[in-house]
Amino acid sequence: MPDSAHNSEPHLWVKISLGDAGEVGPGKIALLRLIREHRSIAGAARAMNMSYRRAWLLINELNQIFGQPVLSTFLGGRTHGGAELTPLGEALIARFDSISSRAEAAVREELSALAAEVRSSD
Amino acid sequence: MPDSAHNSEPHLWVKISLGDAGEVGPGKIALLRLIREHRSIAGAARAMNMSYRRAWLLINELNQIFGQPVLSTFLGGRTHGGAELTPLGEALIARFDSISSRAEAAVREELSALAAEVRSSD
């Protein structure tokens, strides 16, 4: 996400509200991706400049939403142990990416038109 | 927005990043709508439980993004005077609504599938 902030192209961020169950947005998905990369909640939290507790709460929200864990932890790692995504966690990333790119594709022309209005006022 | 938080249907929130220019999301659009309704920045800020200063900063961000004001203020109102949307402000609400509903329509099936995964784990 930090990369996009310096991108001059118009872009759509999506957040999925699942009603009372909760929300799935770019932050939680970025965290899942980093946990996959680092095989560690602590490592992912550091990479996002987020406390371990905050990362754990976000993961717990996802577990609660789906009633199943999005990651499994294993012993033997360094501080806080290691972690890897469950098939549900992997599927959630894929689903979110699919929804994001489909939504963005649907509005690409309107986004470009809006961006042109911004540029025309420079 | 508060209404949707208690809605059990899946729903897409979108935020439009216009690159370095800034972002347009549901909060700024809700504020514009309330200013239209209340004809007052202060009234809209109160309705959103937001400080006048915060509301003013959000409006100023929009003015900066588009290089033109999204609202005009007039004297003679109560505290902080009155305000009404400019044609640009009106067009921005319409554009945002159009982008939101088009994006949501494009992913409706996937949202329902995701929501079913949530419900199936209850």
**Model confidence at A102: pLDDT above 50:** yes
pLDDT computed for residue B80 by the predictor: 55
Average pLDDT over residues A18-30: 93
- Residue in chain B closest to A25 (alpha carbons) equals B13
A61 vs A57, B54, B103, CA distance in Å?
6, 29, 25
Q: Where along chain A do its domains lie?
A: 3-120
Residues of B in contact with A2 (CB under 8 A): none
Report CB contact under 8 Å: B21, A118: yes
- Residue in chain B closest to A69 (alpha carbons) equals B121
The mean pLDDT of chain A is 88
Å between B77 CA and nearest CA of chain A: 30
pLDDT computed for residue B81 by the predictor: 66
Tell me the pLDDT tens digit for each residue of B14-45. Answer: 999 998 889 999 999 999 999 999 999 999 99
Lowest mean pLDDT among A111-115, B36-40, B116-120: B116-120
pLDDT computed for residue B117 by the predictor: 84
**Model confidence at A120: pLDDT above 70:** no
Confidence class for position B2, pLDDT limits 50, 70, 90: very low
CA-based Rg of chain B, rounded to a whole angstrom? 17
ipTM of the complex, rounded to two decimals: 0.80
A59, amino acid identity: I
Element (H, E) at B115: helix B108-120
Residue B117 is nearest to which of A13, A14, A66, comparing CB atoms?
A: A66
pLDDT computed for residue B6 by the predictor: 44
* Number of residues in chain B: 122
**Model confidence at B100: pLDDT above 50:** yes
pLDDT computed for residue B122 by the predictor: 52
In DSSP terms, B71 is beta-bridged to: B85
- Alpha-carbon span B104 to A98, nearest angstrom: 13
Residues of B in contact with A6 (CB under 8 A): 19-20
**Model confidence at B1: pLDDT above 70:** no
Residues of B in contact with A122 (CB under 8 A): 67
- Alpha-carbon span B101 to B65, nearest angstrom: 23
Picking from B54, B63, B69, the residue whose alpha carbon sits closest to that of residue B21 is B63
pLDDT computed for residue B4 by the predictor: 41
For the segment(s) B3-120, the CATH number from 1.10.10.10, 3.30.70.141, 1.10.3720.10, 3.40.50.1460 is 1.10.10.10
- Verdict on whether the full-model pTM lies above 0.90: no
